[in-house]
Amino acid sequence: MSTNGVPTDGGREQPRRGPSRRVAVAAGSAALLLVATGGVTLLAQWVPASASGAAARVPAARVPAARVPDARVPDARVPDTVATTTTTAPTTTLATTTTTSPPTTSAPTTTLATTTTTRPSSTTTTVARVAPKITSAVTAGFQAGVYASFTITSTGTPWPAIGESGKLPPGLSFHGESDGKATISGTPAATDGGDYPVTITASNGVGTAATERLLITVVRAPSFTSAAVVHCTAGTAMSFTVLSSGVPTPTIGESGALPAGLGFHPAANGTATISGTPGAGLDGTWTVTLTASNGVGRSATQRLEIVVAPKSAPPSVPTGSGYWYVTSGGELVAMGGAHPAAGGRQRPSQVVAMAATTDHAGYYLLSRTGRVFNYGDAPWYGSLAHLHLSTPSVAIAVSASDRGYYVVTRAGGVYGFGQEAPLYGSIGRRKVAAVVAFALTPDGRGYWIVTAAGNVFQFGDAGFYGSLAHQRVPKVVAFGVSPSGHGYWLVTVNGEVFNFGDAVSWGSISTRHVPPVAGFAANPDGRGYWIVTTKGNVFNLGDARFFGSSAHTRLLGSVTGFALDY
């Protein structure tokens, strides 16, 4: 049975595709309302109100479930990428059907909401793998004695691991991190300074590891290392070298009035020279201010006193009566009141040093192989000849009591012989420049060891008053101690004399064109000294007296040792 073409006996019509359709029926009759939308058919039945006005029950419409196939996302294979896929599950929304009883004068209406079906979606994020690259600076600066850190950065996916190879400055260390970074941090040694190249690597398994040369520079604030007092004599030529230390090399400046006849001459190697001839009648103390600056921290200042003595000032103690010097072939030269001492039939060769006894009635010669030759009243206590050392001997010194002596090797080994030659230490295991000089303190309870680079190592009761270790100066070849033991002189191969502590500068011969310097000795009063060359030239400065030289004599070898007889 049907009413207006709409089945009323429960028959069903096939779903139709296309837009929604609605069929209306006459009032007072039973009917099925058929709505089609989006390929889904919805059924609703309306029954008129009863005669009593009570609403009739309407059975719920049965709607077939919409079947939507699951979305399938094919696998994506991308070399060196990391893919992330996000899938949204399909959802179907069905609205509730509501039936309203219309007034008796109008036809009933039925309202149906739209059914919405959401299709699945898929999102794929691709992260590419990237080879490492170091992005931090190629230079890093640190200041000696000051804590600081430097961060190494890099890029790459995944994060690169940072590595380091090479020698870091003492006091600094390397710390790798997990996010493509690393840190070099610490406090450089207070006396350090210079450049330290290291190699930085970054690797993450992609491509070739990245490398970079990192130059670490340790700078050091300037300071003065030369004496604060210089002595000279009116009418006598003098030369005093101002020394400074710092990285980069400091520039020296001077302010104040110098004595007439003296001039200030700065150099590019962190030194300056005050030289000339003070005029007569200018005796007294002159004070000037020195400055050293290199852009690191504050400039260093030093108050320098220039003491000019009258030309007629007498020496405070006797100046000595002569001196000896010896050649590498064992030839002994005696000048002034000094005389050769008896030594039997000894035939020394390869002589490298000489030392006189404290009473100056005898002396020792030392050979390169460690043999010791004794003359006059100098007793023999032993030698290094039987040890067959691989490093040559370079210096000999007599103990304060004359009851022993020391032999020193080029590597810094110290050997004591006799009853009173105690050992206070050595530098035999240190990696330093070749040893060139050795000297005892006045009381014999300590000593200094000096290298060709100007390093000064003190042992026992010997004090440290400065060195040339960080100065750009010629090779150091000789060393002398002040009368008090609270200062010393260092002498270079070209005749420049550097004074430290209470040792007084009496000039140098560096401006003269002379053969290489071979020896040095200070006057007992500390107010003068002698400088000897390999050819036998003897230069006396201060109140040191001149007793003669071999400047015009052909010697049997180069001069290698010098000693006083006073």
pLDDT by residue (tens digit) across 399-455?
988 899 999 999 999 999 998 899 999 997 788 899 999 999 999 999 999 999 999
How many other C-beta atoms can be found within 10 angstroms of the C-beta atom of residue 68? 13
Residue ranges matching CATH 2.60.40.10 in the chain = 134-221, 225-309
Residue ranges matching CATH 2.130.10.10 in the chain = 322-565
Q: Do residues 178 and 159 lie in contact, with contact meaning Cβ atoms separated by under 8 Å? A: yes
Residues of the chain with pLDDT under 50: 1-58, 60-61, 63, 65-66, 68, 71-79, 81-88, 91-107, 109-114, 313-319
Task: Give the integer Cα–Cα distance in Å for 522 and 539.
Answer: 12
Closest CA to 308 of 229, 228, 227, 424: 229
Q: What is the pLDDT of residue 458?
A: 95
Q: Give the pairing of strands 139-143 and 210-224.
A: parallel
Q: What is the pLDDT of residue 360?
A: 84
Percent of the chain with pLDDT over 70: 76
Q: What is the pLDDT of residue 96?
A: 45
Q: What is the pLDDT of residue 147?
A: 96
If one looks up domain 134-221 in CATH, what number appears?
Answer: 2.60.40.10
Q: What is the pLDDT of residue 227?
A: 81
For 171, left (φ over 0), alpha (ψ -120 to 50), or beta?
A: left
- Give the residue ranges of DSSP H helices in 259-410: none
Closest CA to 558 of 376, 331, 365, 395: 331
Please list, residue by residue across 90-108, b when 16 or more beta carbons sit within 10 angstroms of its beta carbon and e when fewer do.
Answer: beeeeeebebebeeeeeeb
Q: What is the pLDDT of residue 304?
A: 92
If one looks up domain 225-309 in CATH, what number appears?
Answer: 2.60.40.10
For domain 322-565, give the fold: Methylamine Dehydrogenase; Chain H (2.130.10)
Task: Give the integer Cα–Cα distance in Å for 142 and 187.
Answer: 8
